[in-house]
Amino acid sequence: MVDSPRDRSRDEESPDKPRCLVVMYHYVRDVETLPRSGMHTVPVGLGALGTRDFRIQLDRLGRQMEPIDWPTFYAWTCGRGSIPRRCFLLTFDDGLVDHAETVIPILHEQSLRAVFFVPGAILTSHRLLPAHIVHALLSVLDAQTLEEELLAYLQEQRGSGAYWSAAVDMNAARKLYHYETPERARLKYLLTVLLPIELRNEAVEALFERHIGSVTRWARHWYMSWDDLVAIESAGHTIGGHGYGHEPYSRLTPGQRRDDLRRLTAVLRGGLGPDRRPFSYPYGRWDKDACAACRDASFVHAFTTERRLVTQDDDAFSLPRVDTIDVEAVLEKEVPCPSP
């Protein structure tokens, strides 16, 4: 059955209108090693959340709001059920091994259910995604050294560093990477948005192999496996899609977006079976065509990275979601503590 559109006339602006804080996490780990492998890395480049801070945030959320799971959230967005007046939904991006090794045991201790958004390519290509290669490189090199080495590689191997002289819109770079220093935001923006994808992939993989090791060997320890995903889904959590190649849809053509989504749904259906699933846009980048492409690919709704709570008025394919580092500010603004 197709879900009927919500009756928007019900959703009058009111302070008592139910709202849900959807929180986004990436790396959650303590030690300076990759779980399972013992391979050393340095968390400064990963921006990892430690387990102590993760637990503190869960406590903080639990004191002010009630947790809900994705089926409850989905039914509410379809107008078929209710949610507590102030509630939160936990989501984890990128299919990182941290989620199976570190996050799941903590969630189970606290009887919490979450959504795990997985890029399709990690289950098929068995290579590190370029975004994670850059995180790892920034854990062993500073941004200036990495930029110099990338430029040198492009000049030596490809006879041109022309892409590197492209003017970077620093406002756009700071907006996308608001949690980074200007130097790192500029470098990440060049790599994620401006440099041609194939050239970028070749350059970052070459530098990873020079400084760290094999991208295929590391991928085996960086991501969750099918066994992890099956166990997570069997335990009552939800697996969602996060692109196939994990490129921002703003830089793909409409045809490339549809191809990326077609490959993603084929991977998820092949490994986990057909089901209703949510989607999160890689890097939170979306537009109307991306919304339509997600809907056509049978995802039931999609999350951006707009920093506010979800209301029932929100469009199903541009739902807001808040990064863990912004949770405190959003709670203070939107869910003030009751007066003593």
In the complex, the smallest distance separating the C-beta of residue 147 from Zn ion, rounded to whole angstroms, is 22
Instruction: For residue 97, give the amino acid letter.
Output: V
In the complex with Zn ion, which residue's Cβ is closer, 93 or 247?
A: 93
**Cα-to-chain-centroid distance, residue 175:** 16
Spatial separation of the C-alpha atoms in residues 247 and 245, rounded to whole Å: 6
Nearer to Zn ion, 67 or 284 (CB): 284
* CA-CA-CA-CA dihedral for 11, 15, 16, 18, to nearest 10: 60
Contact residues for Zn ion, defined by CB under 5 A: 93-94
**Least distance from C-beta 318 to Zn ion, angstroms?**
17
Q: Which is nearer to Zn ion, 67 or 245 (CB)?
A: 245
Smaller CB distance to Zn ion: residue 65 or 121? 121
Q: How far is the CB of 299 from Zn ion (least distance, A)?
A: 15
- Of the two residues 65 and 118, which places its CB atom closer to Zn ion in the complex? 118
User: How many CA atoms does the CB half-sphere of 195 hold within 13 Å?
Assistant: 26
**Least gap, CB of 158 to Zn ion (angstroms):** 27
Which candidate, 147, 143, 56, 72, places its Cα nearest to that of 106? Answer: 56
Q: How far is the CB of 282 from Zn ion (least distance, A)?
A: 5
Contact 135, 46 (CB under 8 A): yes
Beta carbons within 8 Å of 278's beta carbon, 6+ residues apart:
70, 74, 115, 117, 238, 240, 241, 299, 300, 301, 302, 303
Give the shortest CB-117-to-Zn ion separation in angstroms.
Answer: 7
- 163, 196 contact by CB (below 8 A): yes
Specify whether the CB–CB gap between 179 and 323 falls below 8 A.
yes
In the complex with Zn ion, which residue's Cβ is closer, 86 or 119?
119
